[in-house]
């Protein structure tokens, strides 16, 4: 299994196991065009959103679409753990057959709304499917695997490239910060970080506003990589 999907799958499973110990598992519910993630702790929801965003960006998020919603839409479409609502509706038989009959009968309709139970398990299972789909593409064209494994990053500084590489292995949280520290990547010493902690893990442990700034830095690098990749694709057309 490719390292990216193996890592994300493992993190979804670990997050599920943490929820089991807390006796509260995340689930998602679709109503209309919106998704709501419920159950679990606020921290569990945040970790899930980070992982889902990371996975959705790997797959390519449609323009203007929220990455987390995009991931949930994929689960709705392909995961057997999505359970659409079914309802019985009465209609006159004449509407179905002919004007000669006027009796009533039930018609079963299926709604686009419904829940995804055990959300992290469903996500981990879908990671396996995504890996299989990518492998099929790699077998057909080996260049695809290289492009997926190493997104265009020519616009990144050396420091940003190192942060990007860590982000490809670890989605977020304390482990992400530990990996940054282990790679000897120090927080910047300018701007909002000028008087900040000297290590990423120390910053994460301090909570607000440092966790937000760590995530913001990672998101900015992700956007730069995405922009570089799009520019490279347009240049090759």
Our measurement of the distance from residue 99's CA atom to the centroid of its chain's CA atoms, rounded to an integer in Å, reads: 52
Residue 158, C-beta contacts closer than 8 angstroms, at least 6 positions apart = none
Higher pLDDT, 186 or 112: 186
Residue 127, C-beta contacts closer than 8 angstroms, at least 6 positions apart = 5, 8, 9, 12, 55
pLDDT tens digits, residue range 65-79?
Answer: 788 999 999 999 999
pLDDT of res. 40: 84
- Kindly indicate the confidence band of residue 149, based on its pLDDT and cuts at 50, 70 and 90: very low
Is-contact 167 218, C-beta < 8 A?
yes
Highest mean pLDDT among 85-99, 107-121, 159-173, 217-231: 159-173
Give the least confident one: 96-100, 126-130, 157-161, 198-202. 96-100
d(CA 93, CA 115): 32
d(CA 197, CA 206): 9
DSSP tag of 183: T
- Kindly indicate the confidence band of residue 235, based on its pLDDT and cuts at 50, 70 and 90: low
Please give the radius of gyration of the chain, using alpha carbons only, rounded to the nearest integer: 22
């Amino acid at each position: 299994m490719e390292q990216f999907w193996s890592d994300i799958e493992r993190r979804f499973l670990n997050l599920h196991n943490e929820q089991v110990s807390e006796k509260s598992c995340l689930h998602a519910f679709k109503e209309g065009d919106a998704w709501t993630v419920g159950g679990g702790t606020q921290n569990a929801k945040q970790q899930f959103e980070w992982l889902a965003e990371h996975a959705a960006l790997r797959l390519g998020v449609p323009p203007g679409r929220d990455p987390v919603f995009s991931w949930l839409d994929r689960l709705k479409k392909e995961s057997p753990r999505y359970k659409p609502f079914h309802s019985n509706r009465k209609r006159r038989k004449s509407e179905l057959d002919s004007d000669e009959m006027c009796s009533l009968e039930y018609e079963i309709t299926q709604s686009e709304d419904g829940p995804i139970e055990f959300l992290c398990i469903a996500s981990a299972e879908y990671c396996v499917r995504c890996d299989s789909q990518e492998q099929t593409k790699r077998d057909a064209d080996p260049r695809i695997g290289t492009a997926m494994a190493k997104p265009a990053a020519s616009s990144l500084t050396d420091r940003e490239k190192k942060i990007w590489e860590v982000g490809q292995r670890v989605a977020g949280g304390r482990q992400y910060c530990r990996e940054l520290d282990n790679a000897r990547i120090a927080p910047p010493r300018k701007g909002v970080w000028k008087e900040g902690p000297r290590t990423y893990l120390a910053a994460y442990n301090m909570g607000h506003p440092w966790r937000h700034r760590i995530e913001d830095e990672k998101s900015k690098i992700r956007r730069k990589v995405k922009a570089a990749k799009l520019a490279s694709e347009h240049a090759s057309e």
